Chain A
Amino acid sequence: MNHTLRRLALKGAVACALISSFAGFALAQENVLRVSAIPDEVPTELQRKFAPLGKYLEKETGMKVSFVPVSDYAAVVESLAIRKLDLVWLGGFTFVQARIRSNGTAIPIVQREEDAHFTSKFVTADPNIKSYADLKGKTFAFGSPSSTSGHLMPRFFLQQAGIRPDKDFRNIAFSGAHDATVAFVAAGKADAGVLNASVWDKLVEAKKVDPAKVRVFATTPPYFDYNWTVRGDLDPALVKKLTEAFLKLDPKNPEHAEIMQLQRASKFIPTKKENYDGIEKAAQSAGLLK
């Protein structure tokens, strides 16, 4: 009896829920700007960092802005491609993936000035490792497989230097995030690793890493990295508003200064698809894109 009752109850509940969600759908949707970012830092941290920017964008666009926290790089790309997200913070490689997954429609609007000449740092705690060539036969840690500065570009530059990671390293590990790579190297879990120069600087500044123990032994040439991208079929007037809102940000304005500091940006500059052609070529030659 109990069971029958329970089943009836369940049926009723789901019916109610279905109806209400259908109804809800008609009302929701419009007038919400859905924003997300690739998870190269803690989502709580990303959410915290985004809060003032979100408020600013709400004021500038007159729309409600909601931030969707994520833990998978690729999920951000796919969500943009299937139009579940409107505005996203992408890395160079994830932007190239998004451009391909969205049939070329995703539009990069702005980037930080420093993203135009981004670098990666190779770090180690092993005194015998002084150059790329010394990495042969060692264990090596990349960040996330989808990371530009933690995987793609370092892999590309290693190959340029004649090192084939899949063959020459004893073992390749994906730590998942830049901070984690440093932790692995510091703990000796990997003989060497590579990460985003900006995160390295942040860790050194915050004294989260002991430079006497973990040291940089190589730096990559510069390349284009992160940008803010919108989905291709977003209202052009809104895209224009968003772009202008970013470009208007001025570190001298105290209200803007907080936003800029949290975004670790000195200035936002316009960007274009062509900036990322180099990354696409690198991804192809590194075998990460077909």
Chain B
Amino acid sequence: MAEAVALHDPAARQRGTALLLGLAVLWPLLVVADFRPGEIFEIRNLKTVGAFLAGFLPPETGAEFLAYLVRATLETLAIATAGMALAFLLALPLVSLSTRALAAAEIGPGPGYARAQFLHYGLRALLTVLRGIPELVWALLFVRVFGLGPAAGVLALALGYGGMLTKVYSEILESGDTRPARAILEAGGGRLQALFYGLLPGAARELTSYTVYRWECAVRASVVMGFVGAGGLGQLMDQAMKMLNGGEASTILLTFLLLVLAADALSHFLRQQVGAAGTVGRKAGFGVSACAIAGLVLLAVVSSFGALDIHFGALLMRESMGLIGDFAVSFFPPDLSLPWLSRVAYGTLETLAISATGTLLAVLGGFVLAFPASGRYGRLAGQFSRFLLNALRSIPELVWATLTVLSVGLGPFAGVLALALHTTGVLGRLFAETLQNAPPAARDALVDAGARPVVAFLYGTLPEVMPQLLAYTLYRWEMNIRMAAILGFVGAGGLGQLLYFELSLFRYAEACTVIAAMLLLSIVVDAASSEVRRRLR
């Protein structure tokens, strides 16, 4: 009998149940997402994509086109940098007003307590709205009020990323040691004093590192903004793809790849610099390199604003404020008629299905590529798979979507594939890192005891890394739900397609309902995902 017990797989029941439950939830989502993997491999479709990809060679190198390309690339970089600078300026006051680490509401009742609490929750709500609406939707709206061109992209980044920075800055400040700040506040110090002398000294490094990382994301985001007319590389790409001009598309894709890899490397370098400052053996503070970097950042920001030639003065004049007001008012009241609500509800379900299916496919793909990428099958395989992951990751979802639409036709499945391709790159890299860092003790013990490598992995490594993998997946799903909401702009179904159609016909009340649905969806998914992550811990 004792042998029978030993042969029984202790984890089988739990894993089996989880798998079945997962499939039961997934099935209807697959149906809604129009999941037809066979479609990709149909001869006719392979031929179409093949013919288009064949058109990629040779890449377009005409001088006229290259001139456009260089200008668009610079514009993309400038939009990212200028948008990030504004987001930073927006986030600063919002953080100091909204972070719990400085909240008077947390200290307890006192004079002005009710007002402080009201302000605190009001700000949190505002931040949720800023973050919950994808920056591409902001861009689409701003293109309407501020006219075409980079101003719309910069402002969209400023708002979306302002909200995002505020949230993450607050989390960083709250997760650090808040006692010094509390002490200053309780001793009667002001909010700013508490922020500067109580909180910043402990958190400055992490804050800077995150800001730099976010800039790298902003570069990718500003590429995508071009798809709605906000200038830069995306605008060129959108048209090249629409007109099936393979040569131009491949040159633009190569430029993307280089740009993203360069931004990646720069961001990595800067973060390393920040990490190194203040460690043992290096003097913290105003070193030569710190000043040089600060100077370069300043120069980059100034020249970005210079290059973009945005007339903020014109935006703030009474006349354009009036126009913005009229524009905003035309969205209210939202269209809440029953037939429209049911269409929006179906769009929401479709978006949910696209994001869930795409993320799951990416988990599979990422997992498979993570093994060679973590260096398990030799250096060559490692380098090749890491390059593949980087390439997948560098190309934004929206660009993938223009390709997948061609392969499987317009509709949600194209969106699923686009999300899956990009996310595979992201998750594969994270998974590989996790596998590399997994403590080997349990696995080695199993191997020493004579277990086969697969078994040793399943019962030695997997339990160790599972919570981390799940956390990454959930976090990515939160981002993908926002992305799925906008993939429809290029014909990949869901809420985005509805929104784009309604905005094209200037039906703003209907559009407002769609935006509200996007917001609601992202809030619900955020809450669900953070709840699950909390339980995993």
Contacts and interface: CB of A to CB of B under 8 A. Distances in A.
Contacts of A273: none
Contacts of A1: 204, 277, 284-286, 290
A187 B45 contact: yes
B309 A24 contact: yes
B143 to A, nearest CB: 5
A141 B290 CA distance: 56
Contact of B409 (A26, A48, A75, A189): A189
A232 interface: no
A10 interface: yes
Contact of B504 (A7, A41, A146, A189): A146
Interface residues of B, number: 78
A175 interface: yes
Contact of B274 (A2, A10, A73, A139): A2
Nearest to A186: B48
Contact of B294 (A6, A141, A289): A6
Interface string B232-243: 000110111011
Contacts of B248: 42, 44
Interface in A249-290: 288-290
B68 A44 contact: yes
Given A2-B293, A174-B491, A82 B89 contact: no
A14 B406 contact: no
A82 B506 contact: no
A144 B243 CA distance: 13
Interface in B292-329: 293-295, 297-298, 301-302, 305-306, 309-314, 320, 323
Contacts of B226: 71
B147 A2 contact: no
Interface centre among B143, B146, B205 (most CB of A within 10 A): B143
A179 interface: yes
A101 interface: yes
Contacts of B103: none
B12 interface: no
Contacts of B277: 1-2
A71 B227 contact: yes
Nearest to A85: B147
A43 interface: yes
A10 B145 CA distance: 27
A10 B239 contact: no
A84 interface: yes
B148 A42 contact: no
A17 interface: yes
Contacts of B501: 145, 174
Contact of B65 (A20, A21, A44): A44
Contacts of A162: none
B520 interface: no
B244 A5 contact: no
Contacts of A39: 239
Nearest to B92: A7
Given A5-B294, A44-B68, A180-B244, A78 B144 contact: yes
Given A10-B89, A21-B305, A174-B491, A75 B144 contact: yes
B85 interface: yes
A201 B140 CA distance: 33
Given A14-B305, A21-B310, A175 B85 contact: no
A60 interface: no
A2 B294 contact: yes
A289 B204 CA distance: 54
B239 A13 contact: no
Interface of B: 44-45, 47-48, 64-65, 68, 82, 85-86, 88-89, 92, 140, 143-149, 200, 204-205, 207-208, 226-229, 235-236, 238-240, 242-245, 248, 273-274, 277, 284-286, 290-291, 293-295, 297-298, 301-302, 305-306, 309-314, 320, 323, 406, 409-411, 490-491, 500-501, 503-507
Q: Enumerate the 7 nearest inter-chain pairs by beta-carbon distance, A residue then B residue, closest first.
A: A84-B147, A17-B305, A173-B410, A187-B48, A3-B204, A1-B285, A9-B298
Given A13-B302, A21-B305, 9 more contacts: A1-B286, A2-B294, A13-B85, A21-B313, A42-B242, A44-B236, A71-B238, A101-B506, A189-B48
Interface of A: 1-7, 9-14, 16-18, 20-22, 24-26, 28, 36, 39, 41-45, 47-48, 68-79, 82, 84-85, 97, 100-101, 139, 141, 144-146, 171, 173-177, 179-180, 183-184, 187-190, 288-290
